[in-house]
Structure 1
Amino acid sequence: MNVYEKQYRKLLAKGYAAWAGEDFLRAKTQQEKIFHWLSFNNHLPQPGAPVLEMGCGNGAMASQSLAERGYSVWGVDFSETAIRWAENHFYQARLSAHFIVGNVCHIGQCEDAKFEFIIDGSCLHCLIEDERNLFFTEVKRLLKPGGRFVISSMCGTPRLDNDMNAYDPVRYHLLKEGKPWRTLKPLENLINEIQEEYFNVLATRVNNNAWWDHATIVCTVNGSLEGS
């Protein structure tokens, strides 16, 4: 059983609203501020457009916000429990979406250039080394020409003692039991990585926290790749 499946089973059994657990209301409030910012700056497509959340969890975060705004929502997550939970949550909320159990690095159920808007559901920072390249490649395959890709990622460097002691500043890994479990890059390095993957960065917003920062980065595919 993968760690995400195990955690979602625990969260569901304890009656939490989403992955954030006791921190859900803070996380959801912050996310709604992000969606207001995206809308105000014309980064969201017209209602009805097909959109995808990569790492959607139980659907209570970006997928729900997008569905409530009238989009044709798709969501993918590694955890079967999270996806079943999302389906039940949307049924009870009378919302519609298409949820998939799958790997964000290869979503075989989706055809090329399907989505006008793809959002990273705080998934990218969970990917380590080569997985990140595969993730970016999949986004480029699935995003329609001119579409927006929004990254939601941890950034900066750790500020709390326990995290600083478990941080590899060379590979930008946070470690757990000696093994990498999150990628935490300074914002400049993160933006460089995104650009090296042939995305244009249109806008950046950083939320400062006591532990590390969190960036929202709006991108499009580099024009040299579109139509290739």
Structure 2
Amino acid sequence: MKMKPNYHVHEEMYVEARQVGWEGWGGNERMSKATLVERFLDLYDGSKQVKLLELGCGEGHHCRAFNKLGFDVTGIDISPTAIAWAKEKAKATGLKGEYFTADLTLKSLKLSERYDVAIDGNCLHCIIGEDRTTFLDHVYSSLSDNGIFFVSSLCSKDESSYETHKNNAPYRHIASQNSLIRELEKAGLQALNVKVYERENSNHITVFAIKA
């Protein structure tokens, strides 16, 4: 019998992060880096202030960085603790942003706003199986015409996609480069730029795509 993913494990991990005194997911060293923002800006040539949605925003460090650059930001996360944390940090820093809890694997979810940019804040590789189709359908419907979807995700080192497990449940989907591109295309998202970053265990990939 195939095990179902437990997406609420992320709530447990955010609770633990707060309890041990970390600044956010993965520890303080990870929070000190703005790699995702830098990689996006290397490809983004827009000069106007636009509406940006981050999927899997956690405690909001990417959203706050984008807001400093003039983006009108909204963050979504499945973890209530993460969203409460993001709101606290936004208030403490005086940076604007909307944050709300939502499960992007629910087909019934309705996102009322449309955004010029959607950022995958290392969230897509947390989505398993058929839920990935639902997730990407939400991305497509949330974007304005010619909207940008920027993916930052784990990636396999070859043509094999696979899952890792945590507590006997699927935890990460490590897609191959080609399978990820096919998923995006099937969802109506055209990849314009793809970069793979070599790492020891699994690679990392960024994809700059537009709503086709």
TM (norm. structure 2) is: 0.87
Residues 15-24 or 94-103, more deviating? 15-24
Residues 8-65 of structure 1: CA deviation (Å, up to 9, x unaligned) = 1111122211112144156x242243133134xx1x5622x211001100001x2112
RMSD: 2.1
Superposition deviation, residue 207 in structure 1? 2.1
Residue of 140, 164, 187 corresponding to 1:197:
187
User: What is the aligned partner in structure 2 of residue 123 from structure 1?
Assistant: 123
Q: Counterparts in 2 of 1:23-62, with a 5 A limit?
A: 23-25=29-31, 28-39=33-44, 42=45, 44=46, 46-47=48-49, 49-60=50-61, 62=62
Residue of 1, 5, 12 corresponding to 2:11:
5
C-alpha contact (below 8 Å) 1:127/1:183 kept by paired residues: yes
User: What is the aligned partner in structure 1 of residue 4 from structure 2?
Assistant: none
**Runs of 4+ residues over 4 Å off in structure 1:** 106-109
Bigger relative contact order, structure 1 or 2 (CA pairs below 8 A, ≥6 apart): 2
Cα gap change, 1:45 to 1:196, in 2 (>3 Å):
farther
CA distance in 2, matches of 1:118, 1:14: 31
Cα gap change, 1:32 to 1:137, in 2 (>3 Å):
closer
SS in 1 for 2:98: strand
SS in 2 for 1:214: strand
Aligned letter for 1:14?
A: V
User: What is the aligned partner in structure 2 of residue 211 from structure 1?
Assistant: 201
C-alpha contact (below 8 Å) 1:174/1:182 kept by paired residues: yes
Aligned letter for 1:50?
A: K
Aligned letter for 1:36?
A: L
CA distance in 1, matches of 2:35, 2:109: 32
CA distance in 1, matches of 2:29, 2:200: 14
CA distance in 1, matches of 2:167, 2:105: 25
Superposition deviation, residue 209 in structure 1? 1.4
CA distance in 2, matches of 1:196, 1:185: 15
How many residues are aligned here? 204
Q: What residue ranges of structure 1 are gaps of 5+ in the alignment?
A: 159-168, 223-228
User: What is the aligned partner in structure 2 of residue 103 from structure 1?
Assistant: 103
CA distance in 1, matches of 2:75, 2:63: 7
Residues 181-190 or 138-147, more deviating? 181-190
